[in-house]
């Protein structure tokens, strides 16, 4: 139990490769806020060309949100984190699938769902930073 | 037990969104073969400019391998798969970290490790396709 | 005649530059399968927003298919191949134009045409590998 | 004087086009922090291949920092902002040139300079948001 | 006055970093011509799928036009240019905003406006080259 | 003979798809000028980090030159052009391979070779435009 609490910091440093120093879930959050904002603008404007652009832009923003979430999982989070937060794998997978769902829908609730899952990843992220 | 065997097929179809029809771990494998081939060429050529290009190209190929692996996890694999293969989350995370390790090294063994992990994902992938 | 059959292997090796070790027409084929699958989903769904996404995604997949075909022509195939397969230039140009045509159409026949031309390139590709 | 203080809010809303709802200088800052962190790792590691990777990654991160700064200037800031902050054009141009300078150098001071200029843009950005 | 005329050349050379040797506003102009041409084709074709593709492609071309304009401002133009052409900052910002406006509209006049502003940047660019 | 001379114009118009209105070999030429300029700067500067950046940037510029050449072949040139200029396929393939060669070398002669082949494509391009 005692070693578990200390292990993370040591191992994380040990596994740290060149680009891993700077991570911030804000990158995923900002793109997801964009997804939700675009969905709201889609709902408020019935011009078909405006809506086409909304869908194009939402596709790109959701893809970037998914990319930033993916990077946290593959590059920042390490085995000790997965041990301490056994729900982390599924949480991140759910967030990525919420990104896909927000691409496929123009309902701001799907963007909101994506933001909520990113917020939960963000909470764990900052806990591991303090650890 | 009986329902578990049938459930996946049904649920997977039900969750299927627009771009999900065509997936193939060969995409990740081909990029990873490129990573390993570049590492072997790096070892066989001491010209510093050749080696700089090898590192640039390996960085790109490993990034693409990671992207293709990530897409399988976020877009193709669904909850029923994770239930049937509880090791899948960690296996895919290990493969992504092997991609990072192959970026940071010019030892063909790191490219080989990445290929082995992709091969294990590939086995599961085709089992789920037959299911 | 005899020297022609042997020439390719020698010359191809001689011209081989850093990233040329790993090529596989499967990369183009997988993207083209995606193009055709998206066209089929477009036909089966009349929701205008779904169709907008189908066109966006098809545009990207067809562009990737064209890119992978182009790389085979510019980076893998060498003068001895063009000598042995005089139809190769035109076949590859036809495949690229089939990629453009599949962007401009939602008829799965255009995706099918692209796949057929990639299959013919694939046949020649593997013949040159065995040579 | 009175009308100047009110004009911005009105005009800014009026000019707002589809993707303009969500902007945050944090996007540029996070990439710039990465630039500086990579420069520090470069200084602490004499392995030539590590340094090659550091330069590759710094090039990409600095390019992204420049892109995010550029988007603020072209898409977020509007004529009323330029009227209220006459130094804004030059400040942003300086920040972009600091991004180029940080690409060309491995001295963490150049990354620090980039961060300082982004911090000044950030201050103005949030003032305009409160206005 | 005399020193002002000589200063630019000297300072520009002094600030010149690695990629700065080759710039040409033709890059922005060609993309902007594409924007306008796509808008004209949009107007001439009422098929909704054709129009969706037109909007997708125009979005990409306008983004590239904006990128090339941005590079001229951040990488080519230097303080002495801004001193000699005090209108340059605003002219370039107007051109970038014209790029955004051409994304949001299918009226060829918006593409024409973008082209006019690029033409004015082009005039200044070539004057500075002769200086 | 008579019909051959007229056929091209008609067929080219008939095959014209959405993005084909604006093409210009200047796009490839500008990137190739950058390739050659970077090679010259590489030769003039022995700092290893400067040279690493030169190789990174040259790789990107040569890739863009290859892309623009490829687009001319796949999207602009049509069967009547290939009939009129039977050397066109091989000329363009040579230009693409010259792009690869310029990636693999820091000798400005390889950049010059790329520029010469683009100039020959440019000559044919403008002849077909006048036709």
E67-108 pLDDT tens trace: 999 999 999 999 999 999 999 999 999 999 999 999 999 999
Residue A16: pLDDT over 70: no
DSSP letter string, F73-106 = IIII--HHHHHH-TTHHHHHHHHHHHHHHHHH--
Q: What are the chain E neighbours of F27 within 8 Å (beta carbons)?
A: 27, 30
Q: Does B126 touch chain C (CB under 8 A)?
A: no
The pLDDT of residue E108? 97
The pLDDT of residue B38? 97
Structural domain count of chain E: 1
Calculate the alpha carbon distances from F74 to C95, C123, E21, F119 in Å.
9, 21, 30, 18
Range of the domain at E39: 23-130
DSSP state of D73: I
Q: What is the ipTM of this complex?
A: 0.85
Query: What is the rounded average pLDDT of the residues C118-124?
Result: 98
Task: Tell me, yes or no, whether C92 lies in a domain.
Answer: yes
pLDDT in tens, B81-107: 999 999 999 999 999 999 999 999 999
Task: Please name the member of D49, D56, D57 whose beta carbon is closest to the beta carbon of B106.
Answer: D49
pLDDT band at D18 (very low <50, low <70, confident <90, very high): low
Q: What are the chain F neighbours of D103 within 8 Å (beta carbons)?
A: 53
CATH number of residue F104's parent domain: 1.20.120.400
- Of E115, E131, E28, E18, which Cα lies nearest the Cα of E72? E28
Task: Tell me, yes or no, whether D72 lies in a domain.
Answer: yes
**D128 φ, ψ (degrees, to nearest 5):** -70, -30
Task: Tell me, yes or no, whether D3 lies in a domain.
Answer: no
User: Using an 8 Å Cβ cutoff, are D131 and D119 in contact?
Assistant: no
Residue D68: pLDDT over 80: yes
Q: What are the chain C neighbours of B53 within 8 Å (beta carbons)?
A: 18
Task: Tell me, yes or no, whether F12 lies in a domain.
Answer: no
Q: What are the chain B neighbours of F103 within 8 Å (beta carbons)?
A: 53
Task: Please name the member of F18, F27, F54 whose beta carbon is closest to the beta carbon of E57.
Answer: F18
CB pairs under 8 A between C and E: 17
The pLDDT of residue E1? 38
Q: Which residue of B has its CA nearest to C22?
A: B34
The pLDDT of residue A19? 56
- C and F interact (at least 3 Cβ pairs within 8 A): yes
pLDDT-above-90 percentage for chain A? 82
Q: Which residue of B has its CA nearest to A99?
A: B74
- Of E130, E88, E93, which Cα lies nearest the Cα of E114? E93
Q: Report chain E's mean pLDDT, rounded to a whole number.
A: 88
Q: Does F112 touch chain E (CB under 8 A)?
A: no
Query: What is the rounded average pLDDT of the residues F89-116?
Result: 98
Query: What is the rounded average pLDDT of the residues A63-70?
Result: 97
Q: What angle do CA D16, E71, D24 make, to 5 degrees?
A: 40
**pTM for the complete prediction?**
0.88
Please give the Cα distance from C119 to E21 (Å, whole number). Answer: 44
pLDDT, greater one: F8 or D85: D85
Please give the Cα distance from F48 to E89 (Å, whole number). Answer: 36
- Of B48, B30, B29, B55, which Cα lies nearest the Cα of B107? B55
Q: Does E100 touch chain D (CB under 8 A)?
A: yes
The pLDDT of residue D22? 92
User: Using an 8 Å Cβ cutoff, are F23 and F71 in contact?
Assistant: yes
Lowest-pLDDT range, B33-42, B56-65, F2-11? F2-11
pLDDT in tens, D103-127: 999 999 999 999 999 999 999 999 9
Half-sphere exposure for F21 (CA within 13 Å, toward CB): 18
Helix, strand, coil tally for chain E in percent (to 5): 85, 0, 15
- Radius of gyration from C-alpha coordinates of chain A: 17
Calculate the alpha carbon distances from C112 to B25, C31, C35, C109 in Å.
22, 12, 9, 5
User: Using an 8 Å Cβ cutoff, are C18 and B53 in contact?
Assistant: yes
Q: Across the interface, do D49 and B48 touch by the CB < 8 Å criterion?
A: no
The pLDDT of residue D19? 57
pLDDT in tens, F47-79: 999 999 999 999 999 999 999 999 999 999 999
Q: Chain E window 43-62: which residues touch C at a Cβ cutoff of 8 Å? A: 48-50, 52-53, 56-57
Would you call A66 helix, strand, or coil by DSSP?
helix
Residue B127: pLDDT over 80: yes
Q: Does D106 touch chain F (CB under 8 A)?
A: yes
Task: Tell me, yes or no, whether B53 lies in a domain.
Answer: yes
Task: Tell me, yes or no, whether F62 lies in a domain.
Answer: yes
Q: What are the chain D neighbours of B106 within 8 Å (beta carbons)?
A: 49
Task: Please name the member of A18, A34, A54 whose beta carbon is closest to the beta carbon of D53.
Answer: A18
Please give the Cα distance from D104 to D94 (Å, whole number). Answer: 15
SS3 sequence of B16-58: CCHHHHCCCCHHHHHHHHHHHHHHHHHHCCCCHHHHHHHHHHH
pLDDT in tens, C48-61: 999 999 999 999 99
B58–chain F nearest CA distance, Å: 13
F2–chain C nearest CA distance, Å: 24
The pLDDT of residue B106? 98
Task: Tell me, yes or no, whether A13 lies in a domain.
Answer: no
Task: Tell me, yes or no, whether B41 lies in a domain.
Answer: yes
pLDDT-above-70 percentage for chain F? 85
């Amino acid at each position: 139990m005692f070693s578990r609490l200390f292990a993370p910091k040591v191992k994380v440093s040990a596994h740290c490769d060149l680009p891993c120093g700077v991570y911030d879930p804000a990158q995923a959050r900002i793109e997801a806020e964009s997804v939700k904002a675009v969905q709201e603008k889609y709902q408020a404007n019935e011009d078909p060309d405006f809506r086409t652009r909304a869908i194009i832009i939402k596709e790109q923003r959701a893809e970037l949100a998914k990319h930033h979430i993916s990077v946290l999982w593959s590059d920042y989070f390490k085995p000790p984190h997965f041990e301490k937060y056994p729900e982390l794998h599924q949480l991140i997978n759910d967030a990525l699938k919420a990104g896909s769902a927000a691409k496929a829908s123009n309902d701001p609730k799907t963007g909101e769902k994506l933001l909520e899952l990113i917020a939960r990843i963000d909470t764990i992220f900052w806990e591991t930073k303090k650890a």
